[in-house]
Amino acid sequence: MSATSGVATGEYAQGKPPLKPAKRASLHDGSGRRAALLIAPTIVLLAIVILYPVVSAVSQSFTKDAGLDPATGMFVQGGFAGVSNYKLWLLQDCGSGAFSCPPGTLGSQFWTATGVTFLFTVVAVTLETVLGMIFALVMHRKFKGRAILRASVLVPWAIPTAITAKLWYFIFAYDGIANHLLGTQILWTGDGWAPKFAIIIADTWKTAPFMALLILAGLQVIDEGVYEAAKMDGAGAWKRFVHITLPLVKPALIVAVLFRTLDTLRMYDLPAILTHGAGNTSTLSMLVVDQVRSGFNAASALSTITFLIVFLVAFIFIKFLGANVTAQKAPKAKKAG
Amino acid sequence: MATTATTGSRGKVKVTSSGVEVVQRRRPLSTTLTYVGVVLICLWGLLPFYWMIVTSFRDVGYTFDTTPWFTHVTLDNYATAFSTARGNHFGRALGNSVVIAVAVTVIGILVGVFAAYALARLEFRGKFYVLGLILGASMFPGVALVTPLFQLFTNIGWLNTYQALIIPDISFVLPLTVYTLTAFFTEMPWELEESARMDGCTPGQAFRKVILPLAAPGIFTTAILAFTAAWNEFLLASQLGGDKVQPVTVAIASFAGAQPHQEPYTAVMAAGTIVTVPLIVLVLVFQRRIVSGLTAGGVKS
């Protein structure tokens, strides 16, 4: 976009053919320094609010908690802990070898929390993607009252997650409307599978419409002519969907799935308020917060592990599934470098 | 549906002049399906929200009444929500949320505008890495900030202060504003800036007098997104805040009932309605802009 405008003005200014070096010399004199000045505040702020905490969390995760030394009864500063904080979580090592964390302790909950976090992510994101795709296909059709539809899909998005959690807590109450409509008496925030379903349902309700909007944006850039051509060749609706819509919407779809996946992996508010971790629904983020109260440094190790998991999943998406999150900007950056 | 579509398109190929007639013949089934879909999607989005509103106006004695329309209507729940008798401070929390969300939005926009301008408009070395860094920041799990910030704020005596809630929120609002604004700025008619500069404006003047007015809608949209994000924040506020600076999300989550362990459902629904309705109104009024803002940040390719 800016490339075309730049070319046009370059011509106008110098009465010369639009040569790129000339354009840059006239338009972007000292733009490197200007850019640095303009970007500096953002970088500085992000360094304070993200880089500092990350560095300090990582260094804390290798430190022992200060406290009373059981051997001497004296108060001692932490000191270097090696990887013991990581062993607590990964090997459930509460001080006397692997799997020494008694059931019920936070250490013993690590793998359950990891499992349930991934369960939520896989199931909820799959449901949201399928529903979002259906919603987007409906919304893509031409009909009157599109504004109403767009507004009503934005409603779940606009409600704060904490309020969403409280709303579904009420819907899923024992005497609530969900049990009434289903004719059941399920303890939705009790034990077993019900609380997991409750969280997945509430999360899907809230974010499937958002997914639909992102997919719809991808659908809208597809050229209608491709469909017309396929129709003439006798391709049915399903064939057109599989061979045209899906491949062409794939870039938008993968980015949407990536963002939702990362959001679900770090989910906190919804399960914390809806089930309070009942029925093994404590996510990794909830486990970190629970641990903060009993030992900062072990909490730092767990939050570092969570961070690495999120980072790894993002990396896999970008590297292997070809999620192009900076689609528009990449070529331009190359030109500059 | 498939056969209807195929016959329709075959008819269209045969006669171009009567194409209108063919299209209309094809319409009924797919139009009906579309409208069924539209109604189902609207119900999906609105029904739980409607249930919140109905309950918020329902007498507390009829909390679990399942009548689908407004019955036993009362405003008591709204009074209960604002009542401080049970140690709830919803009114104060509402004020806190406004202070925090406005401050976060203003800082996020002020700082983000400059970075986004540079990213959209200037060619410079390392641009790709700056974008990657900002994107990486937006992927960061909030829970990783809790421990270090809790300790830091304890040491410098910031727990239970506004700045302790405002500054960490920047970590997710700033990447959002930079990213969305960059997408908006990339699509602006920058020729105008060049013309202004040829007429003798300095880069600063050209930006203020020409670009900023043009960018206002995009900035406004981004501000709504940033405000919504800050208004919704829960995790950091629940850990780094205290009673004095508690925002509404935390206040509602910990609402106390008349007796211990009694969930004040109707009052919670009333409080939820108060917190949500202004946002819903904002969304209804600016829905077109909000959709473009949400989808601008990367999905458009």
Are A42 and B280 within 8 A, CB to CB?
A: no
Q: Identify the band that residue A32 occupies on the pLDDT scale cut at 50, 70 and 90.
A: confident
The label of the residue with tokens 């024992």 reads: A174
CA torsion A229-A235-A240-A244 (nearest 10°) is -50
Which residues in chain B are closer than 8 Å to A251, comparing Cβ atoms? 301
- Domain positions in chain B are 79-296
Residues A253-310 pLDDT 10s: 988 899 899 999 999 999 999 998 888 889 999 999 999 888 888 899 999 999 999 9
Q: Identify the band that residue A166 occupies on the pLDDT scale cut at 50, 70 and 90.
A: very high
Which neighbouring-strand residues pair with B58?
Answer: B73
Evaluate whether B100 touches B162 at the Cβ level (below 8 Å): yes
Residues B141-180 pLDDT 10s: 888 899 899 989 999 999 889 999 999 999 989 999 998 9
Q: Identify the band that residue B106 occupies on the pLDDT scale cut at 50, 70 and 90.
A: very high
Q: In A66-193, where does DSSP find H-type helix?
A: 84-90, 110-140, 146-158, 161-171, 177-182
Task: Identify the pLDDT of residue B85.
Answer: 83
**b/e per residue, B256-266, with b = 16+ CB within 10 A?**
ebeeeeeebbb
C-alpha dist (Å) from residue B247 to A168, B255, B267, B268: 20, 12, 17, 15
Q: Which of A156, A292, A330 sits opposite B239 (nearest CB)?
A: A292
Residues in chain A: 337
Q: Identify the band that residue B126 occupies on the pLDDT scale cut at 50, 70 and 90.
A: confident
Task: Identify the pLDDT of residue A17.
Answer: 45
Q: Identify the band that residue B238 occupies on the pLDDT scale cut at 50, 70 and 90.
A: very high
Residues B91-100 pLDDT 10s: 999 999 999 9
User: A165 at the B interface (CB within 8 A)?
Assistant: yes
> B72 phi and psi, to 5 degrees?
50, 50
User: B122 at the A interface (CB within 8 A)?
Assistant: yes
> B109 phi and psi, to 5 degrees?
-70, -50
Which neighbouring-strand residues pair with A75?
Answer: A68
Q: In B187-299, where does DSSP find H-type helix?
A: 191-198, 203-206, 212-232, 235-240, 248-253, 265-285, 287-296
Which residues in chain A are closer than 8 Å to B34, comparing Cβ atoms? 138, 141, 143
Q: Which of A27, A156, A330 sits opposite B45 (nearest CB)?
A: A156
Architecture of domain A118-283: Orthogonal Bundle (1.10)
CATH topology of domain B79-296: MetI-like fold (1.10.3720)
Residues in chain B: 301
Task: Identify the pLDDT of residue A63.
Answer: 84
Q: Chain A: residue nearest B149 by CA? A: A53
What predicted TM-score, i.e. pTM, was given to this entire model?
A: 0.84
- Other CB atoms closer than 10 Å to residue A250's CB: what's the count? 14
**By C-alpha distance, which of A145, A141, A317 is closest to A216?**
A141
**Cα(A179)–Cα(A162) distance, integer angstroms:** 22
Helices B143-155 & A284-292, crossing angle to 10 degrees? 20
- Tokens describing residue A15: 């009465």
Task: Kindly state the average pLDDT of the residues B226-235.
Answer: 93
Are B132 and A256 within 8 A, CB to CB?
A: no
Are A314 and B49 within 8 A, CB to CB?
A: no
More confident residue, B273 or A91: B273
Q: Which of A1, A149, A238 sits opposite B41 (nearest CB)?
A: A149
Which residues in chain B are closer than 8 Å to A237, comparing Cβ atoms? 1-2, 5
Q: Chain A: residue nearest B265 by CA? A: A170
Q: Chain B: residue nearest A204 by CA? A: B44
**pLDDT over 70 for what percent of chain B?**
89
Task: Identify the pLDDT of residue B65.
Answer: 86
Q: Which of B2, B124, B178 sits opposite A237 (nearest CB)?
A: B2
pLDDT at A26 over 60: no
- Domain positions in chain A are 118-283
Which residues in chain A are closer than 8 Å to B275, comparing Cβ atoms? 160, 163
pLDDT at A29 over 60: no
**By C-alpha distance, which of B121, B98, B101 is closest to B181?**
B121
**Cα(A285)–Cα(A263) distance, integer angstroms:** 11
B97 membership: H or E segment, kind and range: helix B90-121
Q: Chain B: residue nearest A14 by CA? A: B198
Query: Testing the interface with B: which of A85, A167, A249, A332 to mutate, by most B Cβ within 10 A?
Result: A167
Residues A104-117 pLDDT 10s: 788 888 999 999 99
User: A319 at the B interface (CB within 8 A)?
Assistant: no
ipTM of the complex: 0.86
More confident residue, A323 or B140: B140
Evaluate whether A324 touches B301 at the Cβ level (below 8 Å): yes
pLDDT at A19 over 80: no
Residues A289-298 pLDDT 10s: 999 888 888 8
- Tokens describing residue A334: 């190359």
C-alpha dist (Å) from residue A164 to A155, A169, B235: 11, 8, 14
Are B268 and A170 within 8 A, CB to CB?
A: yes
Residues B7-62 pLDDT 10s: 444 434 434 444 444 444 555 677 888 888 899 999 999 999 999 999 999 998 88
**Cα(B169)–Cα(B178) distance, integer angstroms:** 14
Query: Testing the interface with A: which of B88, B130, B143 to mutate, by most A Cβ within 10 A?
Result: B143
Task: Identify the pLDDT of residue B104.
Answer: 96
d(CA A5, nearest CA chain B) in Å: 6
- Please give the mean pLDDT across all residues of chain A: 81
> B75 phi and psi, to 5 degrees?
-100, 5
Residues ≥6 apart with Cβ < 8 Å to A172? A178, A179, A188, A189, A198, A274
- Please give the mean pLDDT across all residues of chain B: 84
**pLDDT over 90 for what percent of chain A?**
32
Residues B262-274 pLDDT 10s: 789 999 999 999 9
More confident residue, B13 or A189: A189
Are B294 and A213 within 8 A, CB to CB?
A: yes
Evaluate whether B44 touches A267 at the Cβ level (below 8 Å): no
The label of the residue with tokens 């939520």 reads: A120
Task: Identify the pLDDT of residue B14.
Answer: 39
Write the DSSP assignment of A39-99 as a string of letters.
HHHHHHHHIIIIIHHHHHHHHHHTBPPPEE-TTT--EE---B-TTHHHHHHHS--SSSSTT
More confident residue, A64 or A59: A59
- Other CB atoms closer than 10 Å to residue B254's CB: what's the count? 14
**Cα(B49)–Cα(B274) distance, integer angstroms:** 12
Which neighbouring-strand residues pair with A67?
Answer: A76
**By C-alpha distance, which of B122, B192, B120 is closest to A24?**
B122
- Note which residues in 269-308 of chain A have CB less than 8 A from chain B: 269, 273, 284-285, 288-289, 292, 296, 299-300, 303-304, 306-307
User: B216 at the A interface (CB within 8 A)?
Assistant: no
d(CA B78, nearest CA chain A) in Å: 16
Evaluate whether B186 touches A2 at the Cβ level (below 8 Å): yes
More confident residue, B249 or A237: B249
Are A289 and B301 within 8 A, CB to CB?
A: no
More confident residue, A31 or B77: B77
The DSSP bridge pattern shows strands A67-68 and A75-76 to be antiparallel
User: A158 at the B interface (CB within 8 A)?
Assistant: yes
Evaluate whether B284 touches A151 at the Cβ level (below 8 Å): yes
User: A262 at the B interface (CB within 8 A)?
Assistant: yes
Are A35 and B288 within 8 A, CB to CB?
A: no
